[in-house]
Amino acid sequence: MALLYNIHENLVNSIFFSRSRLSERKGNKVLFNLIIGILAGYASRYFGNALSSVLTGKYKIPKTDIPVLTFILLLLAASILIGIGRQDGLPFILVFGGGIGFFYKYLWAICKKQYTVVKAKIKDRKDMNNEI
């Protein structure tokens, strides 16, 4: 058993801590949690269909609850992954990243719309300055 623990310990250290002790820096922990959260949120759209096909026939779960259940399960898996990586789990950052990953299409549409509005305002200001 001790041999398996040592192998696991060496594997985790070689994968996650091979570059200049990244775990000692707070910013890297936040970024790691954010990226894992974004990936979990993004993946929940694709794992929802598989989970729906498994659960719909066996259990009486409404189809509207499947995306929420998928999102929760993938965030749980992400927190386990963070624990395996021996990173400090930052739940707010993880859930925030998950929200970004889950709602990225809506956020991207809002950003594009705001960009076009700001671009039009800048163009109008330039036109007004050129007239004067």
Model pLDDT for residues 72-93, shown as the tens digit of each residue: 888 888 888 777 776 666 777 7
Residues 6+ apart with CB under 8 A from 51: 66, 69, 70, 73
How many whole angstroms separate alpha carbon 17 and alpha carbon 19?
6
What does the pLDDT read at residue 79?
A: 82
Contact 16, 23 (CB under 8 A): yes
pTM reported for the whole predicted model: 0.59
Structure tokens that stand for 70 in this block = 């998928």
Q: Which residue's structure tokens are 């549409």?
A: 109
- Domain map of the chain by residue range? 2-15+23-103
Residue 126 has pLDDT above 70, yes or no: yes
What does the pLDDT read at residue 22?
A: 45
How many whole angstroms separate alpha carbon 35 and alpha carbon 120?
33
The predicted-structure confidence for 13-55, as pLDDT tens digits, reads as follows 655 555 444 445 566 777 877 888 888 888 888 888 788 777 7
